[in-house]
Amino acid sequence: MTAPSGLEQWDLTSKTSLFLDRHMMFPLLEYLDGLIEADKISYSSKDVAAARLSLLRPTHMVDYAVDTYKSVHGDSAEIPAEMEEQKTQVFKQLEELESGCKPLTDLCNNEEEKTKLVSSGKWSIAALSQEADLNITPEVLEIYRKTAKFQFECGNYQRARDMLENYISLLAKPPGPDSAGDEEMDDYKTNSKQQSSDKKEDVGNPTIYYLKSVDAKLLQVLWGRLACEILVEQWEAASVALDAVKAALESLVSSKRMSAIEALSERTWLLHWSLFVYWNNSAKGGLEQLVELFHTERYKQAITTNAPHLLRYLTAAVLLCKRRITKKAAAGSTAEARRLMKNLINVMQDCDYSDPIVEFVNCLCVKFDFESAQIKLQECEKVLDADFFLCKQTGLFMEEARVFVFENYCRIHNKIDLQALGKKLAMNEDEAEHWIVDLIRNADLDAKIDSEEGCVVMGGSVQSVYEQVMERTRDLNVRSATMAQNLNKLLVDARKNKAKAEALAREEAE
């Protein structure tokens, strides 16, 4: 598929696809089909179908592949023999895998028995292996994991998700149901502290589904769980799964079981997968979480090094959640919003990427070029239409972008002509007046409209003493710690130099 100078130039599908599971690509291709049907993009529907067929070939979704093959070659086209053979093999392999883990599957489907084992603390592979009549061993558990992956490749995402949940729970070390009572009784014993410490050590990491440790294979299981949650569109569960993968990555890096290069690649993949989670959960704080993750130093490095195109999503997220963050701040302080914009501009300067959304912010915050910002704002609507993740936010984005223009314009003007402001906001004078009236009411802006002169008169905007103190002391602890560390290093170096000098003097004396 080639991208000329129309809406296609803002399509990031070809870039994001490099860091997505092939199953996640199907919703993106379906969205492109919708754009093609609406004549918004000049891609060929046959090219999109061919790309879909290429993605389907390594999977076990044979029926879907057959339907796609017909859409490419015509309904009357003869289905290749290898597709029919693949379908036969898929059913055969699935039957073999399911028979290999049948004891565990039956137990997981028996909710009553499973609940008893969980409440008695025997729901673990170690405990189940000791029950000879259950016929559940680590080998059976491994076949169960492979079956879950096979179900995923068949497109049975909910089934795969449930199986992975069971698999992880059998390896986890959650707190016992009566652990709180036990700890209270231990306080009366002389060795209570030691016993309490032992119990805490026996509990896994709650961020990683109470797993005590993670290796490369378990990390893949966590990735699989995240993929399943995304594809069944359980966004809150997907957010938990995302945090689990993130914590597991950092655990492997800190224990030197993953190299820095591998970690950088894994973080890049996680950033792309997080787009599904955070943009679909934007009403429940998803955008704030996206901004926090993308601004984290390690993940910011992944953006600037491997995926500068993600700057589009960071910029859009900052614009959309900036006012929400200001409202949540103490006394409506704008310090946090200013810090967000400052961090965003720093990332923009490090990224070799640009599109109308990024350029819009650059024109306003760096160049203070309102004319160019107006042009870029009009282009932003096209970019949003072409983007699978941002398309649902078009109306809200345009509203927040206009507020952003208004805020920046008001910073450098005391009196603003409504007609001129309307042009900056891509509105006529009447629309601009009504929009500003609503904005003044809802945002408690210190401004009033002079209808006779057709202008907006701004009040004074002075940063409060509280905001000034917060702004200047925000990083005081970090700066103090850094200064103490540097001073300690100087003292250590001075002692070393003194010791060397004394040793050298003794040698010369001898």
pLDDT tens, residue by residue, 284-330: 889 999 999 999 999 999 999 999 999 999 999 999 988 787 777 65
Lowest mean pLDDT among 352-356, 443-447, 450-454: 443-447
Three-class SS state of 447: strand
Q: How confident is the model at residue 236 (pLDDT cuts 50, 70, 90)?
A: very high
The reported pLDDT for the residue numbered 197 is: 47
Mean of pLDDT values over 145-149? 97
Question: pTM for this one?
Answer: 0.82
- Whether residue 488 is predicted with pLDDT greater than 90 in this model: the reply is no
**Alpha-carbon gap, residue 111 to 9, rounded angstroms:** 52
Write the secondary structure of 10-34 as one string of H (helix), E (strand) and C (coil): HCCHHHHHHHCCHHHHHHHHHHHHH
Nearest Cα to 355, choosing from 366, 367, 363?
363
pLDDT tens, residue by residue, 21-60: 999 999 999 999 999 998 888 899 999 999 999 999 999 9
**Alpha-carbon gap, residue 375 to 381, rounded angstroms:** 11
pLDDT tens, residue by residue, 238-252: 999 999 999 999 999
The reported pLDDT for the residue numbered 470 is: 64
pLDDT tens, residue by residue, 390-434: 999 999 999 889 888 877 777 777 777 777 777 766 677 777 777
The reported pLDDT for the residue numbered 50 is: 92
Q: How confident is the model at residue 177 (pLDDT cuts 50, 70, 90)?
A: low
pLDDT tens, residue by residue, 118-143: 998 899 999 999 988 889 999 999 99
Tokens read off for 341: 């914009």
**Alpha-carbon gap, residue 164 to 269, rounded angstroms:** 20
pLDDT tens, residue by residue, 371-397: 898 899 989 988 998 899 999 999 999
Neighbouring CB atoms inside 10 A of 64's CB total: 16
Nearest Cα to 318, choosing from 404, 244, 210?
404
Average pLDDT of the chain to the nearest whole number: 86
The reported pLDDT for the residue numbered 142 is: 96
More confident residue, 488 or 312: 312
Neighbouring CB atoms inside 10 A of 500's CB total: 10
The reported pLDDT for the residue numbered 311 is: 97
Residue length of the chain:
510
The reported pLDDT for the residue numbered 196 is: 46
Tokens read off for 345: 């501009």
State what percent of residues in the chain have pLDDT above 90. 55
